[in-house]
Amino acid sequence: MQIIGIVGTAKNTGKTTALTSILDSLSKNEFSLGVTSIGYDGEDIDNLTFLPKPRIFLKEGVIIASSSLTFETSKIKYEILYETDIYTPLGKVIIAKVLEPGKIVLAGPNNIKDLKKIIALFKTLNTDFLFVDGAMNRMAPMYLADKVIFSTGASRSTEIKNIVEEISLISLIFNKNIMPQYDINSNCFFVKNGELLETEIKSLLTKDDLLKLFSYRPENYEKVVIKNIFSSAVVKEFVQEILKKKDTYEMVFLEPFRLLLSMNDISISEFRRMFTNNINISFIYKPSLIAITVNSFYPKYENFHFTAGYIDKYLLKKSVVEGVTVPVFDIFEEGSKDLVKLLS
């Protein structure tokens, strides 16, 4: 089973449309398809702008993992396969098979532990593809995916240069290496010539955590492995201090999504300066970034309400293509036929 994550950089970036189109294309080839989401998504009307949003349209045979209330409020016909012990604000997560085509809101597991349970259940159903829908602010469990697609566009920013700057950084991060896994329980440890030094550091969130980290004299080692949670401010200070003492160094993180989430605290340009050519980045787990989708639509606010606005779709796609190293698609213009070829 392949696990495919689809992440939107903001609401209204076309993520749901991309997912619906991909599912439609794959269903024609008689694949067994599963779909869930990290948390809640797929409402008819955007709850901020009150503009129409597409629900997930699912054909007969697709298997869904979603909360019980979403099934009750949809008009979809289904057969329950599993009732899990996973609960969300919208009720218990149920795995069900679609009996007749219809639309549904998705509200799946919202943490890593529960998503692992859902993945394990889908594997018992011999599913070919499991699609996991997620947004930037709830994408941490997405590292469990094998491949990932990012959706971006004017809803993230109406300035194309801002869209390109962010998505090119995402592309750069996902282009980093995967480090061989070590059989070690320590949340933070150092490596030199294959030898490991464990620490008792539980997190890197405060100045005190950083002082504890430096008490181990990290400059004597080639790399630091950070499996635990961290703040961008502490990582930034660590980088600044280590570069005073060493020319090059490697920082290994558990997965790339935590780095992306840290961009909420610092600017993209500052993030780029933190990780210069002297600081190498790698990950223990990293899905393959296989594509970017772009959407020229954005909710335009005027006269005290929102209307549909658009930026130049051709310039948007051209600019993003020039800024990333993976294929770029405008699903509204092109459909998903060529994108689906990247899933095999």
Q: What CATH number should be reported for the domain holding residue 145?
A: 3.40.50.300
pTM of the model: 0.91
What region, left, alpha or beta, does residue 91 occupy, with left being phi > 0 and alpha being psi -120 to 50 degrees?
A: left
- Verify that 171 and 30 share a domain, yes or no: yes
Q: Are residues 31 and 164 in the same domain?
A: yes
Whether residue 222 is found in the same domain as residue 104: no
Q: Answer yes or no: do 328 and 222 share one domain.
A: no
Residue 53 has pLDDT above 80, yes or no: no
Domain with 279, as residue range(s), is 177-283
Residue 229, pLDDT score: 86
The mean per-residue pLDDT over the stretch 30-48 comes to: 73
Residues 6+ apart with CB under 8 A from 188: 199, 201, 204, 213, 224, 225, 226, 227, 228
**In a shared domain, residues 98 and 184:** no
Whether residue 66 is found in the same domain as residue 160: yes
Check residue 41 and give its pLDDT: 60
**254 and 331 assigned to the same domain:** no
Please check whether residues 56 and 162 belong to one and the same domain: yes
Torsion angle of the four alpha carbons 19, 23, 25, 30, in this order, in degrees rounded to the nearest 10: 160
Shared domain check, 276 and 128 = no
Task: Please tell me whether residues 295 and 218 are part of one structural domain.
Answer: no
Domain endpoint, select from 251, 283, 315 = 283
Of 261, 283, 305, at which residue does a domain stop? 283
Higher pLDDT, 26 or 48: 26
Examine the domain organization and report whether 31 and 70 are in the same domain. Answer: yes
Which range scores top for mean pLDDT: 12-16, 145-149, 258-262, 306-310? 145-149
Same-domain pairing of 162 and 48: yes
Distance of CA 80 to the CA centre of its chain: 28
The mean-pLDDT minimum among 65-69, 128-132, 175-179, 222-226 falls in 175-179
70, 104 in Cβ contact below 8 A?
A: yes
Q: How many domains does the chain have?
A: 2
Q: What is the mean pLDDT of residues 286-291?
A: 96
